[in-house]
Amino acid sequence: MRYRKRPVVIEAVQWTGENTNEIYKFAGKAVSAEVYKSDGKLLAIETLEGTMYAPVGDYIIKGVDGEFYPCKPDIFEKTYEIPKFNFPPRYIDADKLIEKLTYMGYFDDDNGDELYEIIMRFVNEDV
């Protein structure tokens, strides 16, 4: 049986080795330490599967349930792309947008359901 990954918008930050504060701000307590090994700097990331170590260049991904985990750059680039509309989700309030469009007369009995569905698909990046 074959499966296709659902189109989900995630948040991620690539660790450059110089942006540790940005990673800490992004992932919070999921980043437990910056570790120095003979082969370079690593970030210790607390994942659902335990501690994983991310070398410089890895992406730190926030999963759909708020969990964090590292991802190798080549896998990241094969799996993810920048969405067509790359707005942070907190900037789009679908209910307020629909309320405003209704007030402006864009929603009526003929097109209300269709416009609502289009807006919700846009907000969820499912277009």
For the chain, the first-to-last Cα distance in angstroms comes to 26
Q: Are strands 59-62 and 68-71 parallel, antiparallel or unpaired?
A: antiparallel
Is residue 120 within 8 Å of 127, Cβ to Cβ? Answer: no
Give the confidence band of 28 by pLDDT, cuts at 50, 70, 90: very high
- Region 59-73 average pLDDT: 94
Tens-place pLDDT, residues 74-106: 999 998 887 766 555 555 666 777 777 777 777
Q: What is the mean pLDDT of the chain?
A: 82
Among the ranges given (18-27, 41-50, 60-69, 101-110), the one the predictor scored with the smallest mean pLDDT:
101-110
Q: How many whole angstroms from its chain centre is CA 92?
A: 15
Over pLDDT 70: what percentage of the chain? 80
- Helix or strand holding residue 78 (H, E): helix 73-79
pTM exceeding 0.85: no
* Confidence (pLDDT) at 60: 97
